[in-house]
């Protein structure tokens, strides 16, 4: 059973996370022919916790 990790993604609404999880599971099932037992771990990163060029993303 594969583990899919989404790292450092911007936060999204729970409904969008549900849809994303389903779409990723569909793709894994189709590509690998695996049963729907994939684990998906999503790590949200708030824009206030990321900086580019010395500037927080939330300030851009």
Q: Residue 38: what pLDDT? A: 80
| Whether the Cβ atoms of residue 35 and residue 2 lie closer than 8 Å to each other | no
10-residue stretch averages of pLDDT, the chain, 60 residues long: 88 95 94 87 91 93
3-59 is a CATH 3.30.429.10 domain: yes
pTM of the model: 0.75
Q: Residue 10: what pLDDT? A: 87
Q: How far apart are CA 12 and CA 39, in angstroms?
A: 19
Where exactly are the structural domains of the chain? 3-59
Q: Residue 35: what pLDDT? A: 83
């Amino acid at each position: 059973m594969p583990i899919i990790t989404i790292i450092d993604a911007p936060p999204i609404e729970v409904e969008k996370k549900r849809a994303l999880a389903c779409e990723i599971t569909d793709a894994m099932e189709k590509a690998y022919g695996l049963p729907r037992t994939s684990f998906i771990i999503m790590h949200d990163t708030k824009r206030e916790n990321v900086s580019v060029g010395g500037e927080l993303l939330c300030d851009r």
